[in-house]
């Protein structure tokens, strides 16, 4: 049987496309990729300069905002090389240089035409808060070095500054509720809707130097210093939030070890939170460099200490409890610890950052009952060091601290924040939700987008349509050249 007229048309088209050359095809394909990213898309860059490391996040959102707030999604996450910027106090220039690699990744992702209109911000959290307390001039030098590097980039650098603990907590709360679709979501009817306030979740964040708790309480917030109010997607929100400086994971471990050193008569420290059989030697001087340490440094800062683990979770919990001032709440209603006001916890919570990393290692992220979580951590603490090290090769640097971290999280959440056996089940330990990292940066960007005017996307739509028009014109011209105008007309009109 001979070829039909349609088969002859497609055969001629394929032959013509091959003859027209690979270059034309590549140009069309390259142009078509821009259709996947609407020309009116906006971008934002946020650096999270924490105490232990710095992360960069690139966010994108359509310029046509919903109720004056961008509908933001994560486009890139990058961890900068080296430690947190506060670690470069003696060499601030290196703090800026450490950000260069992630910045280059971000610039490669964002179209060059968008660089000048892309806002970029660096927020420094508890590590720099501590350095500012200890030596404000060193902190200023680091911010100046960071600003010099970021200010040279082609994007719109909005500055590098210290993020207040309350802002960090509130922004983390915004992030998780936005990701879960609890602030705004797109309905099946094609409309943006705000869910009921009762569905909102609380946020538990723990970095290296501080920890934050943020949630919507069941009644009025009596201490206005712990209240954060903001407006997103035409809806106002009021949350309780408090940040505890020196109660982050790394500072807690340092405070714990220093307290044990103070109680030891000599240079041998018996550590109940380290596994039996663990032994390490370290210099005593660096333990006292943090403003979180109130004890006086030894006369000889180069003096070495020997630390031996005893694997005693009961004694470990007792030592951890001494880091809290629970008596500061005696006689006070709605009080957490250290005399800090806190209404009763309410609703479900998401616990992320070091909350998640610790419980993920301990295999406790499947929401077991509180008693099970406690028993699991105690059993882990009682394992000999040889067994623990053998079961997790390559992690020797972090392994000794998981026992203390696990028991500290239990103490903080139960005795500090007031979670009970009943409310414990409402805590989700998560690192991401919906493929997006949980932290303060996305919440900050959501607030930031409310300050950026939307642009009419007419030009962007014209550019996107132009790609497809060019492709159609190419096909029509090719068919016309090969088959003639009458055949082309039949091709479009016939079934």
What's the pTM value of the predicted model, to 2 decimals?
Answer: 0.81
pLDDT at 128 over 80: yes
Say what the pLDDT of residue 463 is.
33
CA distance 437 to 18: 45
pLDDT one-digit tens code per residue, 159-176: 999 999 999 999 999 999
Domains and CATH numbers, the chain: 5-36+474-493 (no CATH), 41-246+434-449 (3.30.420.40), 249-322+368-425 (3.30.420.150)
Radius of gyration of the chain (CA): 29
Task: Give the per-residue SS3 of 162-221.
Answer: ECCHHHHHHHHHHHHHHHCCCCCEECCCCCEECCCHHHCCEEEEECCCEEEEEECCCCCC
Average pLDDT, the chain: 83
pLDDT at 24 over 90: no
pLDDT at 284 over 60: yes
Question: pLDDT grade, residue 431 (50/70/90)?
Answer: very high
pLDDT one-digit tens code per residue, 329-384: 988 889 999 999 999 999 999 999 999 999 999 999 999 999 999 999 999 999 99
| Cα 185 from chain centre | 21
pLDDT one-digit tens code per residue, 133-160: 999 999 999 999 999 999 999 999 999 9
Task: Give the per-residue SS3 of the chain.
Answer: CCCCHHHHHHHHHHHHHHHHCHHHHHHHHHHHHHHHCCCCEEEEEEEEECCCCEEEEEEEEECCCECCECCCEEEEEEECCCCCHHHHCCCHHHHHHCCHHHHHHHHHHCCHHHHHHCEEEEEECHHHHHHHHHCHHHHHHHHHHHHHHHHCCCCEEEEEEECCHHHHHHHHHHHHHHHCCCCCEECCCCCEECCCHHHCCEEEEECCCEEEEEECCCCCCCCHHHEEEEEECCEEEEEEEEEEECCCHHHHHHHHHHHHHHHCCCCEEEECCCCCCCEEEEECHHHHCCCCCCCCCCCCCCCEEEEEECCCHHHHHHHHHCCCCHHHHCCCCCECCCCCECCCCCCCEEEEEHHHHHHHHCCCCCCCCHHHHHHHHHHHHCCCHHHHHHHCCCCCCCHHHHHHHHHHHHHHHHHHCCCCHHHHCCEEECCEECCEECCHHHHHHHHHHCCCCCCCCHHHHHHHHHHHHHHHHHHHHHHHHHHCHHHHHHHHHCC
pLDDT one-digit tens code per residue, 60-85: 988 776 666 667 889 999 999 999 99
CA distance 42 to 116: 11
Mean pLDDT of 458-465: 33
pLDDT one-digit tens code per residue, 294-310: 888 877 777 899 999 99
Q: How far apart are the first and last CA of the chain?
A: 21
- Evaluate whether 292 touches 246 at the Cβ level (below 8 Å): yes
Say what the pLDDT of residue 196 is.
63
Neighbours of 219 (CB within 10 A): 9
Q: Please give the positions annotated as active site.
A: 168
């Amino acid at each position: 049987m001979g070829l039909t007229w349609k088969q002859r048309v497609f055969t001629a088209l394929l032959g013509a496309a091959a003859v027209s050359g690979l270059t034309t095809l590549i140009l069309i394909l390259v142009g078509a990729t821009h259709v996947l990213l609407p020309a009116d898309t906006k971008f934002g860059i946020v650096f999270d300069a924490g105490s232990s490391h710095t992360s960069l996040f690139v966010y994108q959102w359509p310029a046509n905002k919903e109720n004056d707030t961008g509908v933001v999604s994560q486009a890139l996450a990058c961890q900068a090389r080296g430690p947190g910027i506060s670690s470069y106090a003696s060499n601030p220039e290196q703090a800026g240089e450490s950000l260069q690699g992630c910045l280059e990744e971000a610039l490669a992702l964002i179209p060059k035409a968008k660089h000048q209109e892309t806002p970029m911000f660096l927020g420094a959290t508890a590590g720099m808060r501590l350095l500012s307390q200890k030596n404000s001039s060193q902190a200023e030098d680091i911010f100046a070095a960071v600003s010099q590097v970021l200010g040279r980039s082609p994007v719109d650098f909005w500055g590098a500054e210290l993020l207040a603990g309350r802002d960090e907590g509130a922004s983390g709360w915004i992030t998780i509720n936005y990701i879960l679709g609890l602030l705004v979501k797109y309905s099946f009817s094609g409309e943006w809707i705000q869910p009921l306030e009762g569905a909102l979740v609380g946020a538990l964040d723990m970095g290296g130097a501080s920890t934050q708790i943020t949630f919507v309480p069941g009644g009025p917030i009596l201490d206005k210093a712990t209240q954060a109010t903001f407006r997103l997607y035409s809806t106002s929100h009021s949350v309780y939030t408090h940040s505890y400086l020196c109660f982050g994971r790394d500072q807690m471990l340092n405070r714990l070890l220093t307290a044990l050193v103070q109680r030891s008569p000599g240079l041998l420290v018996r550590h109940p939170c380290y596994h039996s059989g663990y032994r390490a030697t370290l210099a005593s001087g660096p333990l006292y460099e943090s403003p979180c340490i109130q004890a006086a440094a030894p006369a000889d800062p180069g003096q070495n200490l020997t630390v031996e683990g005893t694997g005693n979770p009961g004694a470990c919990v007792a030592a951890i409890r001494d880091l809290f001032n629970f008596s500061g709440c005696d006689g006070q209603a709605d009080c957490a610890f250290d005399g800090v006001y806190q209404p009763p916890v309410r609703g479900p919570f998401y616990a992320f950052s070091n909350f998640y990393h610790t419980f993920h290692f301990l295999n406790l992220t499947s929401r077991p009952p509180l008693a099970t979580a406690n028993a699991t951590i105690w059993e882990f603490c009682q394992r000999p060091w040889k067994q623990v090290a053998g079961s997790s090769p390559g992690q020797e640097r972090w392994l000794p601290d998981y026992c203390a971290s696990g028991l500290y999280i239990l103490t903080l959440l139960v005795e500090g924040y007031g979670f009970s056996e009943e409310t414990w089940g409402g805590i989700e330990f998560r690192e991401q939700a919906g493929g997006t990292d949980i932290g303060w940066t996305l919440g900050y960007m959501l607030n930031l987008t409310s300050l950026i005017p939307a642009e009419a996307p007419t030009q962007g739509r014209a550019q996107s349509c132009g790609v497809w028009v060019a492709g159609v014109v190419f096909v029509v011209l090719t068919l016309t050249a090969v088959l003639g105008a009458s055949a082309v007309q039949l091709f479009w009109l016939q079934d």
